[in-house]
Structure 1
């Protein structure tokens, strides 16, 4: 699933007011963190992830690992914050950031 420039712009606008729901600490991407990412993506579809590392290359590697492990698409990465998207098969109308933004 590759996002067009128009889709990326729309998802960035939706994510602008969101707070990070998952924070990756110094220990990196653990099994428990992967489960939390899965839950957050299933519930919200579009989420922000905060990465605590000060090293730019390490942050980029973590973002790539998150996207690979969860099957999500990177929408935007600025500094320590990454916005990722994974469409749910059956989105929850009350929790999905996409549905709430478009209605």
Structure 2
């Protein structure tokens, strides 16, 4: 699902206050990182991730790889952190209402 500019701005403002829940380190984007991101996206829809100094990937590369493997959209990349969004399929989670 391609996000509109207005939706991206809304998600960026929501992601600003989040702490990173997924950390990408020396192992880069491996199956464990993807599983952790999948679980977090299902529970929260919007997550922030951090790329550690030991990683061989740039933050943009890590964001694109993780988004591709999880079916999420990259919301923002700043410094060593990025935010991903994917609508959850769970009914017990309060969904983000996009404009």
Post-superposition Cα deviations, 1:35-70, rounded to whole Å, max 9, x if no partner, equal: 111100000100000011478963222111101100
Q: Find the aligned partners of 1:26 and 1:80 in 2 and give their Cα distance.
A: 14
Aligned residue pair count? 97
d(CA) in 1 for partners of 2:27 and 2:95? 28
Q: 1:56 to 1:24 in 2, by over 3 A?
A: closer
TM-score, reference length from structure 2: 0.86
The structure carrying a bigger helix percent of its residues is 1
Runs of 4+ in structure 1 deviating by more than 6 angstroms, as ranges, are: 54-57
2:21/2:47 contact within 8 Å kept: yes
2:35 is matched with 35
Which residue does the alignment assign to 2:20?
20
Uncovered stretches (5+) of structure 2, i.e. residues with no partner: none
**Structure 2 partner of 1:77:** 77
User: What are structure 1's unaligned runs of at least 5 residues?
Assistant: none
RMSD: 2.2
